[in-house]
Amino acid sequence: MQAFPVHTLSENDLDSVVTEAGGVRVHTDADRRTDAGADFVLGNTIIELKMLDDEGFGKPERQKKLAALFGDHEPDRPVVVLDPASLSDVDQRTYRRIIEGPVKQAATKARKQLNQSRTELPTTTGSVLWVFNNGYTALDNDTLAEVVANRVRQDTSSIEGIIVSGCYYHSDGFDSIFLWNCSYVPIRLDHVFPEFDKLQEAFMGFANKFMTSVVTDPQSDGRKLAVRDIVFDVDGVRYVRPATVLGSPSEFYVNGRPRDNSSGIEHCPPVALIVPKLDQAAFAAVTDAVTSAATVLASYPDWQRHVASAAAAATPTKPLVAIDVIPGAWLDWCRETNVEPNLKSLNGYAHMLFEESARALIETARERKATGIVLSTFVLAVTEEIGQDRANDISHIAIVREPMEGDPIIQPLAENVRMFREHAIALAVAYALAEGLDAVQWTVNKRYAWV
């Protein structure tokens, strides 16, 4: 939820900035010209303004390239974080080539326009490309400046410098932060551009006026949203570029900044396949009591095949949990609940016992801390929080055994499961009941968390 609407800036807005700095339009007949020229002249420098209005990571072709690059490093994960810091030097260069597409197009077009205007105004001494980031939220201002400078150095020798600026809007629904950046990067050090100081001052003056108008006179038609996670799917794998965090924990949201939950899960889904656990004597007592015999209760071998079939149907996110059933207690429950003693009520009784045990174990589940009590054996749920949407979190479940000496012995049970923390804890509880363990702990990896 954004705190208030914000207008997307246009070239006309920045026109006033150049005018305030002492610049003018190069060509007053720009809309009628056959040969497109640059936008402004400031001092002896021609300036061409390019607005990056689109999200560069929104293009399907670029998404496929990003997926191929990052997916190769984590082939078994259902959610892959687009973190360039995780790439090797070679792959980082590939990443830069992928993300520079919009910049390359802008620089190529700007070079032609700047050259055209320099030809018509031979007294000017320099050409500057001004890139304003309106919508390429995957790139912060520093990264964009590096990409633009690198592209210009490779493509042309006729651009003496670049200006990189933008308005970056970050919000958690309560706190809002606006970063107005405007920096100059010289490409040719022999070109002098003293007027940039005036341009930068005019830009910040415009920013102050803009923010004042946003607060005092909000417009319902504002279209600029706070920076959000960039999310897309390629070949069944989700890729996430987490939004920049706001820098420090929220003083308003004491339990952490609110996150979306697009998973559609509002209540804990089934986390186990449950079967009654019967030895041969208990099986005989059950078959003596049932009012209508089911095929699986025809004989003890039939029952064992039924249990084996259930085990074969189990998955890492829905393990088989065999619940001890005492026939006498089951029959008492049937009388108390006024149900017939049959296979359906036998399964229902096992489910009831599972739910009781699961609730008790969930209540005792604790966060694993370095200074906490050391347990000898327990089930651990580890959740990686990824960005602003809980639907993109990944969890891992394992049995951990802590010997008196040496490293812990870890037995993975479920890995790289797309599941948020509460769901993962419930699954860990199911595994604990399946393994006959009475302790569950959990921990959260917040490397890519929205905190």
- Looking at the structure, tell me whether residues 302 and 441 fall in a common domain: no
- Looking at the structure, tell me whether residues 188 and 210 fall in a common domain: yes
Query: What number of H helices and E strands is found in the chain?
Result: 11, 16
- Looking at the structure, tell me whether residues 82 and 111 fall in a common domain: yes
CA contacts within 13 A on the Cβ side of 336: 7
236: left (phi over 0), alpha (psi -120 to 50) or beta: left
How far is it, in rounded angstroms, from Cα 197 to Cα 448? 37
pLDDT the model gives residue 116: 94
Q: Is residue 54 part of a domain?
A: yes
- The tokens for 143 are 């990264």
pTM here?
0.90
CA contacts within 13 A on the Cβ side of 162: 26
Greater confidence, 114 or 248? 114
Residues 388-429 have pLDDT tens digits of 999 999 999 999 999 888 899 999 999 999 999 999 999 999
pLDDT the model gives residue 291: 81
- Looking at the structure, tell me whether residues 62 and 20 fall in a common domain: yes
pLDDT the model gives residue 221: 65
Residues 101-125 have pLDDT tens digits of 999 999 999 999 999 999 999 999 9
The candidate with the shortest Cα–Cα distance to 226, out of 269, 181, 175, 267, is 175
CA 140 remoteness from chain centre: 16
How much of the chain exceeds pLDDT 70, in percent? Answer: 98
Q: Is residue 62 part of a domain?
A: yes
Q: What are phi and psi of 305, to 5 degrees?
A: -65, -35
Residues 327-377 have pLDDT tens digits of 999 999 999 999 999 999 999 999 999 999 999 999 999 999 877 777 899
pLDDT the model gives residue 411: 97
- The tokens for 343 are 């296979």
- Looking at the structure, tell me whether residues 81 and 180 fall in a common domain: yes
Radius of gyration of the chain (CA): 32
* DSSP conformation class of 245: P
Which of residues 343, 364, 385 is at a domain's end? Answer: 364
pLDDT the model gives residue 197: 97
pLDDT the model gives residue 373: 75
β-strand 45-52 against 126-133: which pairing, if any? parallel
The candidate with the shortest Cα–Cα distance to 425, out of 439, 435, 411, 446, is 439
How much of the chain exceeds pLDDT 90, in percent? Answer: 79
pLDDT the model gives residue 332: 98
Which of residues 364, 380, 395 is at a domain's end? Answer: 364
Whether residue 381 is predicted with pLDDT greater than 50 in this model: the reply is yes
- Looking at the structure, tell me whether residues 397 and 340 fall in a common domain: no
In which band, very low, low, confident or very high, does the pLDDT at 1 lie, cut at 50, 70 and 90?
A: very low
Q: Is residue 203 part of a domain?
A: yes
β-strand 176-186 against 161-171: which pairing, if any? antiparallel
The candidate with the shortest Cα–Cα distance to 333, out of 401, 273, 276, is 276
Q: Is residue 223 part of a domain?
A: no
Q: Compute the CA torsion angle 64, 65, 66, 67 (nearest 10 deg).
A: 50
- Looking at the structure, tell me whether residues 349 and 388 fall in a common domain: no
- Looking at the structure, tell me whether residues 281 and 408 fall in a common domain: no
Q: Is residue 244 part of a domain?
A: no
In which band, very low, low, confident or very high, does the pLDDT at 213 lie, cut at 50, 70 and 90?
A: confident
Average per-residue pLDDT for the chain: 93
CA contacts within 13 A on the Cβ side of 240: 25
Q: How many CB atoms lie within 10 A of CB 425?
A: 24
Q: How many CB atoms lie within 10 A of CB 392?
A: 27
| DSSP-derived 3-state class of residue 436 | coil
β-strand 440-449 against 377-387: which pairing, if any? parallel
Q: Is residue 82 part of a domain?
A: yes
- E strand intervals along 213-294: 230-234, 237-241, 273-277
Residues comprising the chain, all counted: 451
How far is it, in rounded angstroms, from Cα 440 to Cα 51? 53
Which of residues 216, 234, 253 is at a domain's end? Answer: 216
- Looking at the structure, tell me whether residues 430 and 331 fall in a common domain: no
* DSSP conformation class of 142: H
132 and 166 Cβ atoms separated by less than 8 Å: yes
Q: How many CB atoms lie within 10 A of CB 214?
A: 20
- Looking at the structure, tell me whether residues 148 and 170 fall in a common domain: yes
What range does the domain containing 329 cover? 273-364
Count of domains in the chain? 3
In which band, very low, low, confident or very high, does the pLDDT at 215 lie, cut at 50, 70 and 90?
A: confident
pLDDT the model gives residue 220: 61
How far is it, in rounded angstroms, from Cα 125 to Cα 112? 16
The candidate with the shortest Cα–Cα distance to 437, out of 383, 394, 398, 408, is 398
224-242: average pLDDT? 95
